[in-house]
Every structure is written in structure tokens, then in C-alpha cells.
Structure 1
Amino acid sequence: MAVTIEDVRAVADGLPRSHEVVVRDRVKFRVGSIVWLAFNQEETEMGFAFPKEEREALVASEPDVFFMPRPSDLRFNWVECHLAALDHDRMRELVLDAWCMVVPKKLWPMAGR
């Protein structure tokens, strides 16, 4: 079964300090003012916080799943993926890892980390 934005919400909504916003008809999740998770308008692609130094290897290892952000976003710790290419366990792992990048380590246990 393909992952949907509702599946992602079920994980992201319960994370401390995270809140959902809509910007230019796009769903985004923030911690404070930091966007750590976002969707395209069609809600078929998900961008998420990810270490810049590791993203080229991730994209190269699974180009059918992951892709680089648009050029204007390359300066950020960010990568993107096709939701339909993820299973629920992998989506959960990606969402939790992205959230961990933007919150203090003391909060990680609240997400089962």
C-alpha cells in the first residue's frame, strides 16, 4: 500500500514542538520557524530534513525513490522522495530522522528514539 500524506500526518502530528502549516497551498511541518517536512501541491512528493553531505549518496543509491531538491533549496539540509515508493516503516524512519535534525536531543526519547 502506498504511503499517503495522512499516513505521514499520523506520525508527524504527535511529535513534540511540531506543527502543521499551509503555505501557498502546500502542507509543511515546522518546529518553530524551521520547515523540516513538506509536500508538493499534489501531495505525491515529500521533502524532508536530511544531511547535505549524505544526500547525493542517498539519491544515487535509490534514484527511483529519492531525488535532489530544486537548485534554490540545495543550500539547505534537504532531500525529496516519491511517497508511492515508500512503505510505512521507511516513511516513519525518514520522518523521525528528519524531526530529530531540528529538535534538541533531549526530545528524541519522546519519539521512541
Structure 2
Amino acid sequence: MKLTGEDVRAFVLSLPETAEQFAWGMPIFKVAGRLFLTLPEEETSMAVRCPIIDRDELVQAEPAKFWIADHEAGNAWVRVRLAALDDRAEMTAIITDSWQLAAPRALLEQGER
């Protein structure tokens, strides 16, 4: 199954308080005004929040799937090649993790009720 930017967009927009905008020549997605995902490279990849230590481990373990853009090297972001994802479940797990890293605590606590 080849995942696309439209697959990413459909799932992202199903998450609470998420909005799509356009910046830096690409679609970007925010939760409660906080950036958590972009669709660069003509929507063939996604950039997501990821703690730097985890990001570095992902890139070392699966360099065909994950990489770090030069301008994001000092930030907690990782790029993900959509065509390299195993399935929709992997895509949604990665997106959900990024969303949770950006979402305000109050929003996360609402989901726990």
C-alpha cells in the first residue's frame, strides 16, 4: 500500500483542534496553533515532531524511511518518506505521536476522560 499526502491530510484533520495552512511553499498542520506536521517534497514525505534522541535512533535504524533535513538538524523534527511506511497504522502512530508532542496539556487531558 502506497500512502500519499491525501492519506496523511485525511488522518491529520480528524485529530482534535487541528487546522491546515500553507507556509514555506507547502501544507502545514497545527494543533491549537502549534505546528506539528508539514508535507514537504511535493507531499511525498512528512516532517513531524520527534525528540532528538529518538529521531537519531530512528534515522540510524531505518535510513530509507527516516532522515533529517539539514535545516532541522538542531530541532526535534524528523522527515518520513511516505512510500517507505509499512502501512496506515504506522503512519497514524507517527502522526499521533507528533500531535501529542505539540498539543496543549489541557487538550490531551480531555482525551483521557
Please state which band the TM-score falls in when normalised by the shorter chain: 0.7 to 0.9
Contact 1:16–1:110 (CA<8 Å) still a contact in 2? no
Query: Which residue number corresponds to residue 59 of structure 1?
Result: 59
Q: Which residue of 2 is the match for residue 94 of structure 1?
A: 94
Higher helix share: 2
- Let me know the Cα RMSD of the aligned residues: 2.0
- Conserved in 1, the CA contact under 8 Å of 2:5 and 2:45? no
How far apart in 1 are the matches of 2:10 and 2:101? 19
Regions of 4+ moved over 6 Å: 109-112
CA distance in 2, matches of 1:30, 1:52: 20
Identity, % of aligned positions: 32
**Alignment correspondent of 1:73:** 72
2:104, 2:33 → 1: CA distance? 15
The alpha-carbon deviation at position 110 of structure 1 amounts to 6.6
State the 1:33 CA deviation. 4.2
Q: What aligned pairs does 1:1-113 form with structure 2 within 5 A after superposition?
A: 1-70=1-70, 72-86=71-85, 87-108=87-108
What is the letter of the counterpart of residue 76 of structure 1? N
Letter in 2 for 1:58: L
**2: CA distance between counterparts of 1:91 and 1:13?**
14
Alpha-carbon contact 2:19-2:30 (below 8 Å) kept: yes
Shift of 1:3: 0.7
Q: Report how many residues are paired.
A: 111
Structure 1 gap segments, 5+ residues each: none
Amino acid at match of 1:29: F
Deviation for aligned residue 1:20:
0.4
Secondary structure class of the residue paired with 1:21: strand
C-alpha distance in 2, partners of 1:40/1:13? 17
Deviation of the 1:26 alpha carbon: 0.3
Residue segments in structure 2 that go unaligned for 5+ positions in a row: none
